[in-house]
Structure 1
Amino acid sequence: MHWLFGDQLGPHFLGPDEGGPGRDTPLLMIESRAVFRRRRFHRAKAHLVLSAMRHRAAELGDRVTYVRADTYREGLERAAGGRPVTVRHPTSYAALRLVRALPGVTVGAARGFLVPTARFARWADGHGGKRLRQEDFYHWVRREHGLLMDGDAPAGDHWNLDHDNREPPPHDPTLEVKAPYRPREDEIDDEVRRDLDRWEREGDVRFVGRDGPRRFPATRAEALRALRRFVEHRLATFGPYEDAMLAADPVMSHSLLSSSLNLGLLDPAECVERAEAAWRAGRAPLNSVEGFVRQIAGWREYVWQLYWYFGEEYRRFNELRHTAALPEWWTELDADAVRANCLRTVLAQVRDTGWTHHIPRLMVLGSHALQRGWDPAAVTDWFHRCFVDGYDWVMVPNVVGMSQYADGGRMTTKPYTSGGAYVHRMSDLCGGCDYRPGDRTGDRACPYTAGYWAFLDRHRERLAGNQRVARPVRQLDRLADLDDVRKQERARGDAPP
């Protein structure tokens, strides 16, 4: 038998290469209730994953044995009964330990990524293995796969068009662009929702967040329709505003393909190749296409590779020694308890959909957690559980390295946090807020502005030598109200801002 995990759902996981099944190999899928018992996942995420698994099983028909069990071990024993089983390389250290510990299970090569991990390791070792910059890796992947290349040169003679993709949002409350693809629920979704309701009634499984109509693809066909709609109708306007935020339009021109990629419904190669084809056909500008290609072939691939290259101990890095617990209003996604308009809006988006795009994640949610000194391991776990596209391999590098600077700069060159001026410039979220982005102290002091200076003050010795933040660190001694900022931030504690 060949065992398919719930994030290995596309046809590219069934090819007959190393560790893959043959054309007639019987397949196995296991739905483990213990996964949802151990951790409190977002309800919409649980719904999406189970719906995707059950839809895939229905597509595979008699070829697959679908087992609903308490644990993976129990399900494997019931289905395989000691027969040899193959499985592709899982996407987390915990799952890899499990399959390696099970008798008769052979682990094959990973699928769903552009670069084999062994090949990346050779590249990383050749770069010293310590400071592996994403931009260098991105150039290498582009060359290796011939992505957006004109001979040996990058298309347009520039590798990175990020300078064209940092526009603040338009003055309109929404970006005038065709809406993203939305799937229609069916009887499988109804069954999943009934099961989740029953699990909660039985008391051993608890969720967080709301389970609305399903917003993200659960089948290969749905994912392909979402990809086609993005490339044909939304890709052209993606680039300029990819870092902007609008309260009434959280999606803007983003693709909403991350959950489909991370479930294995889409292969990254087909996504970037379709985007490049749109540019070459004159249907999308280069800056938008390059920005999208960089997200997938650059950042997503880079995060996957660093997860395995840095090793399992990387998740425990805490160079800033942040140990504060996450407050209840945060873990409960209680957006109504928050006064700060930007944080209230984004937390509500997570509560209602299990998704928000990369800038709210980094510069609103992650920045607040970093400024408050919350335990990076707890922040990582929260992002993993509360986002529909969140998996261990996704969130460990993104949160430990990028968002919380817990690795001390091994992955990024500076802590990604800012005062309210950034949010004000890149969004309409400061409009109507109780706070003013320029105020550090007083009744209307922006919690991000005050939090930014308090963060730099706490870590000034460590950050003084960092060229990218040395200037604001030096400015600390010129802040006449720094003592007031310190007192104010100590008094704030973990209360919702």
Structure 2
Amino acid sequence: MKPRVVVILGDQLSPEIRALREADKDRDVILMAEVGDEATYVPHHPKKIAFLFAAMRKFAESLHRDGWTLRYTKLDDSDNAGSIPGEILRACEETGAEECLATEPGEFRLIDALEEMPIPVHIFPDDRFLCSHGEFDAWAEGRKELRMEFFYREMRRKTGLLMDGDKPEGGKWNYDHDNRKPPPGSIDAAPMQFTPDETVEEVLTLVEARFGNNFGALRPFWFATDTAQARRALSHFIKTALPRFGDFQDAMMEGERFLYHSILSMYLNAGLLSWTEICAAAEQAYKDGDAPLNAVEGFIRQIVGWREYMRGIYFREGPAYTRRNTLNHDRKLPGFYWDADTSMTCLSEAVAQTRDEAYAHHIQRLMVTGNFALLSGIDPHEVHEWYLAVYADAYEWVEAPNVIGMSQFADGGVVGSKPYVSGGNYINKMSDYCKGCAYDVKVKTGEGACPFNYLYWAFLDRHKARFGKNPRMAQMYRTWMRMSEEKRADTLQSAEAFLDRLDRGVRV
């Protein structure tokens, strides 16, 4: 019986991955490959590339120790075909295999590439997730609005997480109201960091040589690169940060890059951790009295709620989703998204942190970099490709709905019932960024005013035909119309002058 090639992708580093379960250890050949196509389809952050290559090498070694026949192609191997399909065909030619087993990739471009192969490729569902495509579609069928909150409740019922019989623990499904405290005076937690071992150092040297000009700092590199390390990082978070995660999950602080966030999403999305073990650990902390309900519920909601919901939206909406542009925004992405060279402290901090860590938390992504892009009318596809490139946890299935849908409202309301926009007051409330900023958050128009203030009102004015009758935005439109004609004109003029400077590449 001829062998089959069993391909394991870089974000499928789980021993229970479906293709591996379908394989025969005595017959089949496992293929893992570091290929140029996957490393360059967007200019990935060097830390992300290094994390995945190092984790892939360690996972491959664990498969080898477990007795699998393994083909592993390194990026600098002379006969590297440069793509996943190319490596599959090369493996078939050299082993005599005539078919391939694969687990469904998380990006349509790779699904298409596998489906177009000249050999049979059996693509199995990725059942590491809680909700299958069919289950999500069944939930969505016939609904006028696909709101995450209602999906999340179904996932809580399905898993039994934080449930008291058929009712939610504590009597409420969602404790988000308790999770909006401004930044504390100091932070007494930090994510667990790991010293690079020999395998990681070898990868870092490779990435420095091949991707040294990419946006982002490669060193210091401290990510976990195997499941044992990732589990230590999980335990560390549960003990040191989860208890205060809820209170301060939306807060932002200058110089504090992690606050009480877990920094586990890259490990979860690559397969080093499972959603079940993460949620079980968090729930147990609540049961043991080590973490409050608002923290644990908010954390679990991000995983079985938002994460699963985003994946459902991505596969339901299809491959054209990333090209949606309902608001017809076409401005180029400003250069400071790549160099942090702006006088706006919030944006400078968020971009600099992204450059150094390949990480920013959800409010920095949504209400700073995302909010500015939406208010300024940046092309949502450019925004999408930036997020996909710069974050270590970004894969299109989770990134695109968050950006195209939630952040940029480019999908016309599939994900959100209104755009996530705000003036400078929100950032001032939830951060300390405004205190030392060159712009004054309390000034609404003219030179020295916080750009978020006038850009916010200009956005509402520009899109009043679309959003003017939205009940969730009606109050803001009434406020806008109560302003004097002179004040509205001054606001729009300030926005026009700022956007003109942005278009001309003048530092802002």
- The one-letter code sitting in structure 1 at the alignment partner of 2:102 is V
| Structure-2 residue corresponding to 1:95 | 110
- Structure 2 residue 196 is the aligned partner of structure 1 residue 185: yes
| Structure-1 residue corresponding to 2:371 | 367
Q: Distance in 2 between matches of 1:469 and 1:479?
A: 16
The match for 1:80 among 80, 85, 92 is: 92
Q: Distance in 2 between matches of 1:106 and 1:42?
A: 31
Q: Distance in 2 between matches of 1:487 and 1:43?
A: 41
Q: Secondary structure at the match of 1:66?
A: strand
| Structure-1 residue corresponding to 2:180 | 166
Q: Secondary structure at the match of 1:12?
A: coil
Q: Is the 8 A contact 1:114 1:297 kept in 2?
A: yes
Q: CA deviation at 1:130?
A: 4.5
| Residues 435 and 245 of structure 1: CA distance in aligned 2, closer, same or farther (over 3 Å) | same
| Structure-2 residue corresponding to 1:478 | 482
Matches within 5 A, 1:127-146: 128-146=142-160
Matches within 5 A, 1:267-306: 267-306=274-313
- Structure 2 residue 20 is the aligned partner of structure 1 residue 21: no
Q: CA deviation at 1:231?
A: 1.2
The Cα offsets for residues 7-56 of structure 1, whole Å up to 9 and x where unpaired, read as 00022215765xx3245543110211122344211121111121111221
Matches within 5 A, 1:242-321: 242-321=249-328
| Structure-2 residue corresponding to 1:487 | 493
Matches within 5 A, 1:420-435: 420-435=424-439
- The one-letter code sitting in structure 2 at the alignment partner of 1:253 is Y
Q: CA deviation at 1:200?
A: 4.6
| Residues 417 and 131 of structure 1: CA distance in aligned 2, closer, same or farther (over 3 Å) | same
Q: Secondary structure at the match of 1:106?
A: strand
| Structure-2 residue corresponding to 1:6 | 10
| Residues 432 and 406 of structure 1: CA distance in aligned 2, closer, same or farther (over 3 Å) | same
Matches within 5 A, 1:31-42: 31-42=34-45
| Residues 15 and 233 of structure 1: CA distance in aligned 2, closer, same or farther (over 3 Å) | farther
Q: Distance in 2 between matches of 1:112 and 1:207?
A: 31
- Structure 2 residue 242 is the aligned partner of structure 1 residue 238: no
Q: Is the 8 A contact 1:259 1:388 kept in 2?
A: yes
Residues matched between the structures, number = 483
Q: Distance in 2 between matches of 1:137 and 1:169?
A: 30
- The one-letter code sitting in structure 2 at the alignment partner of 1:104 is P
- TM-score normalised per structure 1: 0.94
Q: CA deviation at 1:394?
A: 1.3
- Structure 2 residue 414 is the aligned partner of structure 1 residue 410: yes
Percent identity between the two aligned chains: 39
The Cα offsets for residues 357-410 of structure 1, whole Å up to 9 and x where unpaired, read as 000000000000001101111101110001111111111100111000112212
Q: Distance in 1 between matches of 2:289 and 2:331?
A: 51
| Structure-2 residue corresponding to 1:226 | 233
Matches within 5 A, 1:320-399: 320-330=327-337, 333-335=338-340, 337-399=341-403
- The one-letter code sitting in structure 1 at the alignment partner of 2:494 is Q
Q: Distance in 1 between matches of 2:49 and 2:115?
A: 26
The match for 1:112 among 86, 109, 128 is: 128
Matches within 5 A, 1:38-53: 38-53=41-56
The Cα offsets for residues 220-239 of structure 1, whole Å up to 9 and x where unpaired, read as 11111111111122111111
Q: Distance in 2 between matches of 1:4 and 1:253?
A: 33
Q: Is the 8 A contact 2:444 2:453 kept in 1?
A: yes
Q: CA deviation at 1:58?
A: 2.3
The match for 2:83 among 71, 76, 80 is: 71
Q: Distance in 1 between matches of 2:41 and 2:175?
A: 43
- Structure 2 residue 199 is the aligned partner of structure 1 residue 194: no
Q: CA deviation at 1:60?
A: 2.1
The Cα offsets for residues 324-367 of structure 1, whole Å up to 9 and x where unpaired, read as 1112332xx211x2101111111110111111100000000000
The Cα offsets for residues 455-486 of structure 1, whole Å up to 9 and x where unpaired, read as 11111121111111111122222333221222
- The one-letter code sitting in structure 2 at the alignment partner of 1:65 is R
Q: Distance in 2 between matches of 1:237 and 1:463?
A: 36
Higher alpha-carbon deviation: 114-123 or 419-428: 114-123
Higher alpha-carbon deviation: 65-74 or 271-280: 65-74
Q: Is the 8 A contact 2:42 2:388 kept in 1?
A: no
Q: Is the 8 A contact 1:380 1:395 kept in 2?
A: yes
Q: Distance in 2 between matches of 1:145 and 1:161?
A: 19
The Cα offsets for residues 413-445 of structure 1, whole Å up to 9 and x where unpaired, read as 111010111011111111111111121212220
Unaligned runs of 5+ in 1: none
Q: Is the 8 A contact 1:30 1:76 kept in 2?
A: no
The match for 1:155 among 137, 146, 169 is: 169
| Structure-1 residue corresponding to 2:77 | none
- The one-letter code sitting in structure 2 at the alignment partner of 1:135 is E
Q: Is the 8 A contact 2:267 2:273 kept in 1?
A: yes
- The one-letter code sitting in structure 1 at the alignment partner of 2:339 is D
Q: Distance in 2 between matches of 1:270 and 1:472?
A: 43
- TM-score normalised per structure 2: 0.92
Q: Distance in 1 between matches of 2:407 and 2:271?
A: 25
Q: CA deviation at 1:75?
A: 1.2
- The one-letter code sitting in structure 1 at the alignment partner of 2:366 is L
